[in-house]
Amino acid sequence: MPARPSSSTAVRQRRARGSISPKEVVTGAIELCRTETVDGLSMPRLAQHLDVGVTSIYWYFKSKEDLLDALSDEAFTRFYAQMPPLAGRQWDEVLREYFTNFRTILRADPVLCDLVIMRGGRYRDDTLGRTWERIEGILEVLVAAGFTADEATTAYFTLSVYTRGCLFIERNMRTIEDTEGGGHPKAHLAESMPVLSSVIGRYGSNMIGDDDFAAGVENNLRGLRTLLASRKPQRRR
């Protein structure tokens, strides 16, 4: 009785010489992460998923770490491909649009979020270059609006850190809630705390909502606007 090709107990047939490509491994790995999360990815299961010997992967990637770097790079590329071009007439609109898109896209795709945000990852030079181009574009808008190069850079990084911080914390809380039973509000802990009690409805287990994120961005924009105004020619006084 000849072994059926994809039977679970069948002995895998040896792959032909050029039949495995690094691209295929990366794509398959990201595909598999969709089912098993990035942290849960294992070399044996990936090999099985790709219908390849475990050790074959090591021909293209010298370690799991190395493979994960490639995954991050690919994830980053896919992420940036989804980012719409800079939009907005005013500098503050540009920032708002950019970081709102940034968060929306990564929140919608946990695998990209895990690879791009949670994992640092060393990127290839061209990936890095593409990012920097985008950043440069934003900085130039800010400089044109009257900020110094330093102020523009600080502004960008502040909002970037804030946005990535949001994604990080939210992702962290989600994994905790998934493991643990649902989030009890624990409002009783705030019994003797008047201010916290009055807002505890909004901050139950529902992590960082769109409104909260937006409010944080707006506060930063307000700060930047004030900074800019303080150096513009004062009108009266």
Partner DNA sequence: ACCTGAACACCGTTCAAGT
Which residues contribute to the site for DNA (CB under 7 A)?
Answer: 11-12, 14-20, 41-45, 52-56, 58-60, 62-65
Sign of the CA dihedral with 74 first, then 138, 152, and 126 last: positive
Q: Is 172 in the site for its own copies (CB under 8 A)?
A: yes
Q: Is 136 in the site for its own copies (CB under 8 A)?
A: yes
Q: Quote the CA–CA distance of 178 and 180 in Å, as a whole number.
A: 6
- Give which of 104, 12, 23 is closest to 51, Cα–Cα: 12
Q: Is 212 in the site for its own copies (CB under 8 A)?
A: yes
Shortest distance, CB of residue 127 to DNA, whole angstroms? 22
Residue at token pair 């930063």: 220
Q: Quote the CA–CA distance of 134 and 136 in Å, as a whole number.
A: 5
Q: Quote the CA–CA distance of 184 and 206 in Å, as a whole number.
A: 11
Residue 14 contact partner, candidates DNA, its own copies, none, CB within 5 to 8 A by sort of partner:
DNA
Residue nearer to its own copies on the CB measure, 56 or 80: 80
Residue at token pair 């795709």: 109
Residue 9 contact partner, candidates DNA, its own copies, none, CB within 5 to 8 A by sort of partner:
none
Shortest distance, CB of residue 3 to its own copies, whole angstroms? 39
Q: Is 125 in the site for its own copies (CB under 8 A)?
A: yes
Q: Quote the CA–CA distance of 157 and 51 in Å, as a whole number.
A: 43
Q: Is 108 in the site for its own copies (CB under 8 A)?
A: no
Kindly determine how many residues on this chain lie close enough to bind its own copies according to the rule CB under 8 A.
61
CA distances from 96 to 25, 214, 222, 230 (A): 37, 8, 11, 21
At position 141, the amino acid (one-letter code) is: V
x/- map, 48-77, its own copies, by CB under 8 A? -----------------x------------
Sign of the CA dihedral with 22 first, then 23, 29, and 32 last: negative
Residues that bind its own copies (CB under 8 A): 65, 119-122, 125, 128-129, 132-133, 135-136, 139-140, 143, 149-150, 152-155, 157-158, 161-162, 164-166, 168-169, 172-173, 175-176, 179-180, 186, 189-190, 193-196, 198-199, 202-203, 208, 212, 215-216, 218-227
